Structure formats: C-alpha cells, structure tokens
C-alpha cells in the first residue's frame, strides 16, 4: 500500500448520512458503507440474556430482577451495616492478643480480658 502524504490543508467534507467529516477520497469509500450500515435494523443488546447463559440463573429471574430495579427507581436500598463497630472490635481483639503474647513471653501477669458484647445476630 503506497504511503500518501496527507496535508493538514486538505479540505474535509461531511458524510450525508452520519455527519462525520472525511477528505474526499475517504468520503467516497465511507458513504456506501455508512449507507449500508444505516439501513440495518439492529435490535438492542440484552445484557440479561447474556448474563443468564452459562449460569444457573434463568433468564426469567434476570428479567424479574430488572423489573424490580425499575420499580425502585434503578437503585436497590443498601442494608445498614455496623462495619465500624465490628472493625473496632476486631482491632481491640488483635491488640489484646498482642498484649497476651507479650505477657507470656516476658512472664508478666496477663492483662484483664477485653469486654466483649454479645453480637446481636439472630442464630
């Protein structure tokens, strides 16, 4: 393919179908392809169908979930979590574990056990 010197001064012309601008030689090639593509009647992509194929979720379940999401306005309400409390409890447990390890290694008296609240989970 011979290299062509494309100058910045070459005028561009809009495509009659899509409106994109091309130099004259490219426009001659582009317009028939663009006209052919514009005649195609493409159906919209259904991501739910792709999500359902190859998994144990049925297509009906995916569509039901999409309808529920539309009813709520597209957003599922997030459940309230107590992550901060759980994180602080975890940090306290790690800290007290380090204190116990240090006391065992040095022979010092063991620190008092940390106060733990009974988790409010339903068992």
Question: Tell me: the pLDDT tens digits for 32-77?
Answer: 999 998 888 888 888 888 888 888 888 898 888 888 888 877 666 6
- Token pair 């809009």 is found at 14
d(CA 24, CA 13): 7
d(CA 79, CA 100) in angstroms, rounded, equals: 36
Report pLDDT digits (tens) over 73-95. 766 667 888 999 999 989 998 99
The predicted pLDDT at position 20 comes to: 94
Domain locations in the chain?
10-41, 83-116
Specify the pTM.
0.34
Residue 52: per-residue pLDDT: 84
d(CA 102, CA 107): 8
What CA–CA distance (Å, rounded) separates 36 from 51? Answer: 31
């Amino acid at each position: 393919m011979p290299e062509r010197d494309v100058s910045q001064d070459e005028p561009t012309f809009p495509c009659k179908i899509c409106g994109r601008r091309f130099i004259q030689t490219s426009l001659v090639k582009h317009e028939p392809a663009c006209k052919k593509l514009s005649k195609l009647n493409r159906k919209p992509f259904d991501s739910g169908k792709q999500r359902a194929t190859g998994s144990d979720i049925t297509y009906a379940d995916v569509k039901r979930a999409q309808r529920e999401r539309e009813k709520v306005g597209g957003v599922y309400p997030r459940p309230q979590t107590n992550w901060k409390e759980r994180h602080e409890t975890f940090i306290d447990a790690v800290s007290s574990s380090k204190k116990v390890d240090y006391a065992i290694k040095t022979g010092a008296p063991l620190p008092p056990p940390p106060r733990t609240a009974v988790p409010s989970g339903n068992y």
